[in-house]
Structure 1
Amino acid sequence: MISRNTDKGFTIMEVLVSIIILTLSLLLLLNMAMVALEANDWSNKATASTQLLQDKLEELRTTMSLSNGVDTLQGIERRWQVTKTADHLRRIDIMASWQNNRGDLLHNNITAYVRTDST
């Protein structure tokens, strides 16, 4: 008599190996998603800080205020300093600072020279 094994399906080892591979793949995808979210947050804050720097520069150009200052908007702190460098020339330094999700302090800054009219 010839006995034939007609059982079909996966062995327990094949199932365990498949589960391990699937688990590792999901963990890698989760890590990539976290990195993408962090990069997206950095990009949003960097874009917002650049816009806030440009807004403050335009404000200082139009008012020609000589006062230095600090303010906070959208979780971003702006510091600006206006320095007279020549008779009709002023240097404007503006720095934006914010913290990322890990608590690192990040900066974005702009420097411009503005000619003033003699009055």
Structure 2
Amino acid sequence: MVFNICVDDLWLDMGRLSGVALPEYRIFNIMNYKTFKVTINLNADTTAAERQMMEYTKEVANECPVAKALGGSGTGEGIVWTMLVPIRHHRSRVLGFKTKSDIFLATAYAPRAPRPYP
């Protein structure tokens, strides 16, 4: 699934690139399916945005819109969030993260090997 495209260190506006896909090779573009939009001001309280993202995530957990569009059904694990229009001073990086439904959150972690220190 294509979520972002970078050309010459510039992350492009995915809203204008829905045609970038090769479905015959099972390469799909997220812009051709139901997407969710939230505006987040990282310099202010993000509680309302977080609440809205989790509501959308619960909706996906009940029925995955991508699976449904591809003729299937089932729950969706969560939503990958990326910038639709990149922030000017983050030209070489894209900000992104994933929200997951409670039923897909890990409840335990395997112990990690100790890191060798010089």
Q: TM-score when scaled to structure 1?
A: 0.30
Compare relative contact order (CA 8 Å, sep 6+) and give the higher one, 1 or 2: 2
Structure showing the higher strand proportion among its residues: 1
Structure showing the higher helix proportion among its residues: 1
